Structures are given as C-alpha cells and as structure tokens.
Amino acid sequence: MKPDLQQFFLACDPSRVLKQENAEDQKYYINFSEVRGAEIIKKLGRSICWKSEDYTCQLFTGHIGCGKSTELSRLKTKLEQEGFQVVYFESSQDLDKGDLDISDILLAIARRVSENLEAIKIKPQGGYFTQILQECVDVLNTPIDVKGVELSLGIGKITTKTKESPQLRSQLRQYLEPKTENLLKAINEELLEPAKKELQRRGQKGLVVIIDNLDRVNDLPHVSGKSLPEYLFVSRGEQLNSLHCHVVYTIPLILAFSNEREALKNRLGGGTDPMVLPMVPVSKRDGSDSEAGLQLLRQMVLARAFPDQLSEERLNLVTEVFDSPATLDRLCRVSGGHVRNLLSLLSSCLLELDTLPIDQNSLEIVIRKHANELALAITPDEWELLEKVAETKSVTGETQYQILLHSLFVFQYHNEQGDLWFDINPVLAEIHSFQ
C-alpha cells in the first residue's frame, strides 16, 4: 500500500506547523519530550495554571526549525482546555524582524488581543488608547480614520501603513517611544485588565498571549551599542514584562547563552531561566546510537506516509517508502534530530522521484548537495571551532554560540538525566573529517 506521492510530499512540507486543533495534523504529531529531556510545554502550562490569578512572563527558545511552533500550538490547546482565553500569533505577520522597537511589539500585541476579544464579543473601550491612536495619525499626517472603529481595526490601519514605509515607521517610533509607559498603561488598564474581569465573569481563568517567531529577530547592531535582540529583550525587558496577562515570548537562542543571560532572566523572565527546546538526539554524547530518538524520528517520517496506521503497523511498511530500513535510518541520523532539516531532506528526495520507494543513491545525492551548500558559509576559523566542538561536545564563549548555533552548524542536546552537550550538524561530517 504505497502512499500517494504528492500527498506524502505535501505532508512533509518543512514549513508546515502542526496545529493541534486540526485532526489531520494530530495524526502527524510525534511527542519527542521523553528523549529531549523534558516536557517543556507541560512546564510552561503548569506555571500559568498554578499562577492563574497572577501574571507570568515566560521565555521559550531553541533552534529555528526544531519544532517550537508546533509545541506552542500544543500549549495553546492545553491552556484552552484548562479554561484560558489564548491569543496566539506569529509576530512575523506584524513585524519586520530587522527593524523593530518596543512600541512595535506592544502595538502588535494590543492589536491581536483586541481582535481576539472582539471575536468573542468582548469589545475594549479604549478611551485613552483611542486618543493615542488619533495622535499617531496626526503625527504621521496620513489619511487614516480611527474614530468610531473597533480598536483592533484602528491599530491595524496604523501598523499596516507604517509597515509599508520605513520613514513612517521611524516617525511613529519617535512619537511613541517617549510615551512607552503611557502606552503600557493604556494596554493594561483599558484592554487587559477589563478583559480578564469579563473572562472570569464568563467562567474562564484569564488571558494568555503567546507570541511566536520573535526568535527570528535579526542579530543586528542597534544604536544603543547592543545587538537588536539584547536591546529589545534585555535593555527593554522590564517593559515587555509589564503586561497584565500571562505572556510567552519566543526569543533568539543566542540570548540563552549570552553574557546578558542573567539580566535577561531577571528583567524579562521575572527570575526564571529561558526554556530551551533541544534537538531530538540521534546519538548519545559518547557517539553511540540513541535508539529511543531514532525510533521516534522513524515514526515522524512514517506518520507522514501512513497517518491512519498504528505505529507498529507503520514499521512493517517501511519498504513501501524506502528501499530498505537502512535508508530510513540514514536519513534520520544525518538530520541530527533537527525536524525541519529531516523534512527538508525528505522533501528534496521526493521531488527527485517519479515513484516510491526512495533509494539510497537518491538520498546520498540530496545529502551531498545539502552538505556542500551549508559548507559554503563556513570559514577556515569556523572549521577549527567545529573540530573543537566535535572533540569536546561543548561550546564556550558568546561569539562561538553566535557563530555556530545561529548558523545551524552545531546542535544542542539534552537527555532525561539533565545532561547538556553540543555536537556538529551531521551533514557537515559528509564533507569534512572530524577526528
């Protein structure tokens, strides 16, 4: 029973985020928490549930493409089942990852929260907030009507206009930045606090805002002298931590290992460390196979081909998709447990075929091509750093973290005992000897 090639390919889309409310996506989901070392989503949810009457601010990070968005979708579903109103949004839809400030983030949050509340017939009044929006329109000197419209629509008109024009965006920031505290006060007093009261009156526990994709903020220099991520999440962290609702921010992985880690933890995280979603281990620290990790990665691939089959039944169908179980294992190992890389390699293989199964030769060609492309960005000094990581299984210094982790040259792993180690992206071992 070979799967339909096109349907299999679509199911393997590396950019697809599995939504827990989607029945089809649930069939594709594999829970890797037992091999990643912790059920991070359970911890995030537990903190919110146990402090439901308070406000929490939690930080979530990991390699881009390691599965954070899928896990946050799970968190959203779990919290809704617990009785919370959850506002989840991808910040990349509202913000420019290379050009943003605190006021941009706050306006995006206010827009998405008000939009969500309006959909359930909770209409924010926004007296002072509406006044701020009208003043923004006056400053921009552009024909935007925010009078008499819903709050989300008014904010949306302004942010859409400024997103199209760096000049208008700069004008808006110059006006709003000195008023950040007033903007926060308006968001809290006219939007978040009334929303919580009304939600509780309806029998719900409160409001949670999950802001995804902020980990993609570019690591560019800022006029403050810091990098853009350090400026936003550390220097201005206390303001981002001042919203009167539960908030989960995704943050760039580099911040979890930077020299500013303690300041980040205290200013934005409220004393709590960022939670890192590591890779799925394909090998242990000593280099031997992680059979538990490989077993789950096999299931991730086979679930895309046979979503309606039980896990045991899928293993009996491997040769309908691959020429041998060894070819599937080769794919899983070379991915390094990075789920998007695995799906990307698999998708590339499928594009080469007229019919299944995937043969080993086709896979090797795809691996080699990917390795050569990745290696183009590596300098001689970076090869030396990679050789040290391969030998020591560790990374030292903020510069090394920034170079090696951000570029996906090195992956981070945890295990159930709490051990932490690093290893090179296995694809690189295809074209370089690490001895």
Is 24 part of any domain?
A: no
Query: What is d(CA 59, CA 270) in angstroms, rounded to the nearest whole number?
Result: 10
Question: Residue 256: is its pLDDT beyond 90?
Answer: no
Query: What is d(CA 322, CA 326) in angstroms, rounded to the nearest whole number?
Result: 9
Residue 15 pLDDT class (50, 70, 90 cuts): very high
Look at 240 and 225; give whichever has higher pLDDT. 240
Residue 148 pLDDT class (50, 70, 90 cuts): low
Query: What is d(CA 183, CA 181) in angstroms, rounded to the nearest whole number?
Result: 5
Note whether 109 and 77 are same-domain residues.
Answer: yes
pLDDT in tens, 357-397: 999 999 999 999 999 999 998 999 889 889 999 999 988 77
**C-alpha distance from residue 249 to each of 91, 112, 435 (Å):** 10, 14, 39
Query: What is d(CA 64, CA 229) in angstroms, rounded to the nearest whole number?
Result: 15
| Exposure letters 384-400 (e unless 16+ CB within 10 A, then b) | ebbeebbeebebeeeeb
Query: What is d(CA 269, CA 67) in angstroms, rounded to the nearest whole number?
Result: 22
Question: Residue 402: is its pLDDT beyond 80?
Answer: no
DSSP 435: -
Final residue belonging to a domain, choices 277, 311, 330: 277
The model's pTM is 0.93
Note whether 269 and 288 are same-domain residues.
Answer: no
Is 309 part of any domain?
A: yes
Question: Residue 218: is its pLDDT beyond 70?
Answer: yes
Final residue belonging to a domain, choices 277, 305, 324: 277
- Contact between residue 102 and residue 154 where contact means Cβ atoms under 8 Å apart: no
Residue 230 lies in domain = 38-277
Question: Residue 309: is its pLDDT beyond 90?
Answer: yes
Neighbours of 16 (CB within 10 A): 16
Helix ranges restricted to H, 55-179: 68-81, 102-119, 127-140, 151-164, 166-176
Note whether 247 and 310 are same-domain residues.
Answer: no
| Strands of 84-90's sheet in order across | 84-90, 206-212, 246-250, 57-62, 275-277
- Contact between residue 17 and residue 69 where contact means Cβ atoms under 8 Å apart: yes
pLDDT in tens, 121-138: 998 877 888 888 888 888
The pLDDT value given to residue 435: 67
Is 28 part of any domain?
A: no
Query: What is d(CA 105, CA 155) in angstroms, rounded to the nearest whole number?
Result: 12
